[in-house]
Every structure is written in structure tokens, then in C-alpha cells.
Homo-oligomer: A and B are copies of this chain.
Amino acid sequence: MTNNQTRSDQGASGEGVDPLRLDLQLCFALYGASNRVTRLYRPLLAPLGLTYPQYLVMLVLWERAPRSVGDLGQALDLDSGTLTPLLKRMETQGLVGRARDPRDERRVIVSLTEKGAALRGPAGAVPGQLVCRLGGDLGDLAALRTALQALNRRLDAADGALP
């Protein structure tokens, strides 16, 4: 905190917005927010034996399982190079099962074990704890979510464009 406020820091609205400084501040804010959230979740997830990305995988699986690796990757916006070792660690912990789809031997189907499904209960308390720690207004967070989802749509559109 308390840095990159050199020069005058033109306001959030109006027409005199400098794209370069805005980009710089947005990069820092987004990058920092993501790291901070991961850090804040860490102590809450450690008792469950989960890292933050593993927690996100479980959230997706709790919504619907079993699913293929590719399906998971699409939901989480991660590729197989990231998911494969992550899922193997979760398999070692007995949270998920991995097996080839007999109907298409190229696919690997990820399923919830009983232990993995049972973890949903204790994990249900985590978001509450976090929101409690954060305090403040929930409306702010809802607005932020909406803004980030809009950004993500723009980022997806920008990704497949010129390359």
C-alpha cells in the first residue's frame, strides 16, 4: 500500500483519463487482489487439506460430478498442464477418483469420492468466515463481482481476436 501515487492521480471519472497510469494501477490492483485473496483463504482451507485452486476444483465438482478433465478446465479456465498434477495430488489425498471413460478412452473422468463429497459440509462454513473477516458492505462485493465478470467477457473477446 501507499505507493504508486506519483504525480497527480487523476480521478476515477471525467475525460482526462491517462490510459497508461490507469493500466498500471489496474494491473497492480488486480494482481494484488488475487494474491491477497489466496493468502486470506490459505489458513481457512488448511484444516480441510485444500489449497485455494484445489478448493475451486471442489466447488466445481460439488456443483456437478463426475466430469471430464477438459470440462473442468473449461469451467475453471485452466489447461491440462495445470489440472493434471493438481488432480493427482487430490487423488492421492482420496478426495477424487480419476478413470478413463470407457466410451471414449481419450477422456479422463474425475469423480468425487465419499471423502471428497463429505468435505462439502465443513467447507460450507468457509465463505461465511471469509465474508465475516472482510466485513463491510455485501453490495460492494456484488458490484465488484459484476464488474469483474464484465471484464472477463472483454478479456475473452480480446484473447481470440488478433493472434
Contacts and interface: CB of A to CB of B under 8 A. Distances in A.
Interface of A: 1, 3-4, 6, 12-13, 17, 19-20, 22-37, 39-40, 43, 52-53, 56, 59-60, 63-64, 74-78, 124, 127-128, 130-131, 133-136, 138-159, 161-163
A145 B18 CA distance: 13
Given A33-B148, A36-B77, A148-B29, A155 B134 contact: yes
A152 B19 contact: no
A4 B75 contact: yes
A144 B31 contact: no
9 contacts: A17-B138, A17-B142, A20-B124, A22-B145, A31-B34, A33-B34, A35-B78, A43-B163, A144-B148
Contacts of A32: 76-77, 152
Given A22-B145, A43-B163, A77-B36, A4 B63 contact: yes
A104 B133 CA distance: 38
Per assembly, the copies of the chain total 2
B134 A22 contact: no
Contacts of A146: 12
Contacts of A19: 127-128, 131, 138
A23 B138 CA distance: 10
A135 to B, nearest CB: 7
A26 B158 contact: no
A25 B63 CA distance: 13
Contacts of A156: 1, 36
B134 A158 contact: yes
